[in-house]
Amino acid sequence: MGPQQIQHVQQSFAGIFARKADLAERFYVHLFTMLPEVRVMFRGNFVKQKMMLTTMIASCVRNLDDPRTLEDIGAQLAQEHAHLELGPHETEAAKRALIAALRDVLGAELDPETESAWASAISRVAGTMTRH
């Protein structure tokens, strides 16, 4: 990712952060639509799960320009999700679900350039997870 893409993601996240609960809600709506079978993986405190999702997104966005920290975040995410044995199909669905959630929350504010930057950022983080 180049500096301009990082800037697009970080600037748009400022507008998303105030609506982070909406982002998490929309993410899971899209994820469960794409992969209804994964709903059973989310038992217990779902509010906590949504908070962990938005905290992770915020941490990744803050560290897009710090490859080492981003790699550490990816390793942590991979470890936390290892028991789920997620494969490329689930990873791709999660990436698409997050982009769809961003579209829902940002609407017209998510121009093609910013959406492309987000897609790059999401792929970058997903890539760090799959290397572990």
Give the amino acid at 36.
P
Residue 2 pLDDT > 70:
yes
Predicted confidence band at 100 (pLDDT cuts at 50, 70, 90)? very high
Could you tell me the CATH superfamily of domain 3-130?
Globins (1.10.490.10)
| Residues 84-94 pLDDT 10s | 666 777 888 88
Measure the N-to-C terminal CA separation of the chain; round to a whole number of Å: 21
**Cα separation values, 108 from 9, 103, 111, 120, Å:** 15, 8, 6, 19
- Give the pair of three-digit tokens for residue 129: 């997870």
Q: Where are the domains of the chain?
A: 3-130
Q: How many CB atoms lie within 10 A of CB 61?
A: 19
pTM for the model stands at 0.86
- Residue that has been written with the tokens 């991979």 in this structure: 78
The Cα 131–Cα 22 span in angstroms is 30
Dmax (CA) for the chain in angstroms is: 40
- Give the pair of three-digit tokens for residue 122: 């999401």
The Cα 59–Cα 56 span in angstroms is 5
The pair phi, psi for residue 131, each rounded to 5°, is -80, -10
Q: Are 73 and 125 in contact (CB under 8 A)?
A: yes
Predicted confidence band at 75 (pLDDT cuts at 50, 70, 90)? confident
Residue 123 pLDDT > 60:
yes
What's the mean pLDDT when you consider all of the chain? 85
Q: Are 124 and 112 in contact (CB under 8 A)?
A: no
Q: Are 59 and 89 in contact (CB under 8 A)?
A: no
| Residues 11-65 pLDDT 10s | 998 888 889 999 999 999 999 999 898 887 777 677 888 888 898 889 888 998 9
